[in-house]
Structure 1
Amino acid sequence: MSQNKIHQYKKLSKLAIRLRDDLNSQDFVLLYAYNGTGKTRLSMEFKDRGKKQLGQADTLYFNAFTEDLFSWENDLANNSERYLKINANSSFFNGLRQLALEPRISNYLSRYANFDYQIDYDNWRIIFSKGDTSHIKVSRGEENIFIWCIFLAICEVTLDDDQAYQWVRYLYIDDPISSLDDNNAIAVASDLAKLLKRGRSRVKTVISSHHGLFFNIMYNELKKHPCNQYFLHKNGEESYTLQKTNDTPFFHHVALLSELKKVSDSGNINTYHFNMLRSILEKTSKFFGFDDFSACIYGIEDEVLYARALNLLSHGDYSIYQPVEMGPDNKALFTSILEAFLTKYRFELPQLLAENTRQQPSA
């Protein structure tokens, strides 16, 4: 694996500027980042940067705020007239009524779900049905995929240069598949890539995700076009590192191991680090087709002790946001297990989190 330069940023606003600079020469930017890194806030910083520079919006985005443009009326009194309300004040819906997007929405929805819908433009509400039953309450996953289909339909008319969305220069898509199974994740990624490649001369796109499968598919679909891929990591409250991963699209597991190696070497090991180590072993066992994660340390001295320790210590209710330092014995055990695993599986660990990195924080 080639070592790519690490860029450090003290603020998300500076990172947003970096992404916009990338899109001067690239059609796409892909970001892999864990939940809690600040992906949604970064998408809003990116969006706000356009308003500050141009005095008007230039980014059509999909993120948690997009989903918040819809809310349920559950008819608690009669339990019969349920519908999804639309916040019509958002520019997101500029062309929804005039452009008659239902055929485009339905085209996508039929690939992912088996319910019907009707948009009541007079009252700005959506009524769902299945068979002869109307005003049904769809699941959260079905709701999210329906909203995603609206976004895809709007992307289509945007890329067709419709007047209602000519203000869009960028698309910013953050974690569109948070409630989907892997089959739908593959379908969504494939459909999105096909759409974006068709319209790459019209708009530039940033996609961020914590979903490894989705990220990998997007990488493989877009890598033949001008496209930068990054691993985004958060250090502390307001410090971020950006590592290019063009040669290693599934880089996040290596970065996680790098973090565990760093804390092991420093001795600053917290209880939740056992959960992280267990997660790595689980993923490795699936990759090799093992039935149990303990097979990853089979044949290692003290393998039974290590397996029992990982089972026990990874089941605690440990929060990354309220770290608790391990006792000396557990620290030593953690370090022994990690070293044994890294000795058996010789990962090339980048200095992603090294405190003595030569790169200076970007302004």
Structure 2
Amino acid sequence: MPQIFEVDGWADEQDAHFFIDDPVSSLDDHNIFITAQSIFDLTESNYLKKRIIVSTHHIGLFSILFDWFTRGDRSGKFSKLTKPFILSNHNDDFELKSPNQDVFLYHLHLLQTLEKAATVKELFIYHYVLLRQALENIASFLGTSRIGFILSEIKVKDVNETMDKINSLSHQSAYRFQFNEMSKTEEDTFREVLTNLINHYHFKLA
């Protein structure tokens, strides 16, 4: 894969940090896995000698990197070093919060992003990553680690088949270089889960 970030361009004290500021826009959804993989590879090559800081407004990129660095197949060496934050704004009072510290804020962001993508009919494979994280957060909030429990609660038609599809499409080895739009069956399953989830728990996303 071509290198899109130059790491060794600074010297002295500046060399200890590497900042990546807002590397994707809403127009880059089809390239999001390439960007995420480039950031992951850069980090893997430099994390012992540099502190790498990534800022983004794109919840999709945030979620993918959050997943890869904390729970992915190669997350072992990063999980204790990774510190994810979301910038929250309450009455013009800004605060950096961990997704684990403010689970409601995080899954609300996820659901808003997913609903918007479904509304404008721009659904990509990576949206399954966000959907799984939303399900996991809600399951944790309800005192369980099983997203199958949530799928049963919201009454999807086939819990096991839906679970298999979510796991398959959101697992790193499966989606690593998938940046295509969803197929018809993938979209149907996605819409069923998202609609049932929002309606069952009465989420207000406006």
User: How does the TM-score come out when normalised to structure 1?
Assistant: 0.30
Structure with more contact order per residue of length (Cα contacts < 8 Å, sep ≥ 6): 1
Q: Return the index of the structure with the highest Cα Rg.
A: 1
Pick the structure with more strand per residue: 1
More helix by share: 2
